[in-house]
Amino acid sequence: MTVQFQAELSSVSPLVTISQSEIAAWLRCPRQWYLKYYLGTVPESEPVTGNMQLGGRVHTALEGWYGYGLDPLAVIVLLYEIELQAHPDDTKELRAEQDLATAMVEGYVEWAAAEGIDAESTVVATETDMQIPMPGRPVILRARLDAVRQLRDGGLVWDDYKTSDSFAAAETLQLNPQFRFYSLMQRLAAPEGPPVLGGRVVTLRRVKRTSKSKPPYYARDEFRFNEDVLEAEWRRVSQVVGEILAARQALDDAAARGVSLDELNMIQQSVLRPNLMPQDCSWRCPFSKGLCPMMDDGSNWPLALAQSGRWRQDDPYSYYRNDDLSNVRSRLASQ
């Protein structure tokens, strides 16, 4: 009974999907990886508004514009109408966020036209689910690219859209593991093809562009990685993937034996030890308040997972299939 929640997801398919987000979770905190990616634990209810939700809606508006020629402001309106209908008690917060999203997207369209940032390329795909077999491993490396562009010379680059309070992240693009991982996947997809061309990060600041705010509000920064960097990234990814596969095997073996809670705790407190960073954990990890402490204080945390009503099980990659834009497109077509 104590390991029922864990045992229900004990089987591993011959091919395991691993993304940069999963790698980051493993490196940040093996316990968080265990709960999210092995057990598939997600909060029963998600916040209706916030930086993540705002970023997702702005992404959808830009996807509709670049991928389907939709009016991005009309997409914003419909996205918030859907949320307002589903969450009437959050009307005030949703309206405030909608005002911000509208200002950001409206300004971005104006800025992109004035700067001509799209003049030298054509969007050939949006929200692409890129899956590449990993040589020598029973693994599919996976990434979701915001937009893939074809340059006039035929080369491909991709755009990644970010919403942020500042442009500080652009200063360390060459160290960003997400973009190194994306570039490595491009190289694996076409090992004999042209050099990896990299991509561009387009940042939209979370400001309304009022008289009191100070520009710039938007920026585009390019990044490229040479073959040496890609070789280093391959070594990093290979090592971490090996660690993740070993952890999965240990958990599968434990589930097959029907281990007790004490034995399960021995595994999750050692091999899957938490990386405790109080200031970081409190805002980054949904498990930090309640569940994570229970996994160390002798509580029956698997029972709490199954019966508290705070958590549910889901595919950690379900967001790759999330297609809010389909609903928006259908509604716009019917108007």
Mapped onto helix, strand or coil, the DSSP state of residue 271 is coil
Whether 5 has a pLDDT exceeding 50, the answer reads no
pLDDT tens digits, residue range 62-78? 999 998 999 999 999 99
Q: pLDDT-based confidence at 197, cuts 50/70/90?
A: low
Tokens representing 3 are 């390991």
* pLDDT attached to residue 221: 92
Min mean pLDDT across 187-196, 243-252, 286-295 is at: 187-196
Residue with tokens 């996994």: 295
94-140 pLDDT per residue, tens: 999 999 999 999 999 999 999 999 988 888 888 888 899 999 999 99
Question: Residue 162's closest CA among 152, 150, 154, 172?
Answer: 172
Indicate whether 188 pLDDT > 80: yes
What band does 153 get if pLDDT is binned at 50, 70 and 90?
Answer: confident
- Read off the pLDDT of residues 269-301 as tens digits, 9 standing for 90 and up: 999 999 999 889 988 899 998 899 999 999 999
CATH number 3.90.320 given to 44-237+285-335 = yes
102 and 73 Cβ atoms separated by less than 8 Å: yes
Mean pLDDT of the chain: 88
Q: How confident is the model at residue 324 (pLDDT cuts 50, 70, 90)?
A: confident
| Structure-token pair, residue 48 | 């209706």
